[in-house]
Amino acid sequence: MLAPPPVASVRGGTVQYYPNAEKMRRAQREIAEQLGVFQLDFDEVVKNEGGKASWLERELSQRDLHLTARGYSRLAEIFYKKLVSQVQACK
């Protein structure tokens, strides 16, 4: 299951998350656990890699919720490694 991307915007140099973003991520996480499926969480990845501001600075993210082509490539690389790790753990 894919969790939503970081739903944030940057206004006046401050990263702002939309009010229901965390509720939506939590609900998806609970459903993934109930169904026994693996969840890939965009927001968690971005936060673990320095946060939205860092991704903006490294030109991995646009100012809205979208990433740049380089950002999506980085995300794919991280998710691929996580997915391979999960598959190997099931062997």
> Residues 6 or more apart from 61 whose CB is under 8 A from it?
6, 46, 52, 55, 67, 68, 71
Task: Locate 27 and state its tokens.
Answer: 């609900």
Residue-wise pLDDT for 12-31, tens only, equals 777 777 778 788 888 988 99
More confident call, 27 vs 9? 27
Task: Locate 35 and state its tokens.
Answer: 């169904």
Distance (Å, rounded) from C-alpha 26 to C-alpha 42?
Answer: 13
Mean pLDDT confidence for 30-46: 87
What's the pLDDT score for residue 38? 81
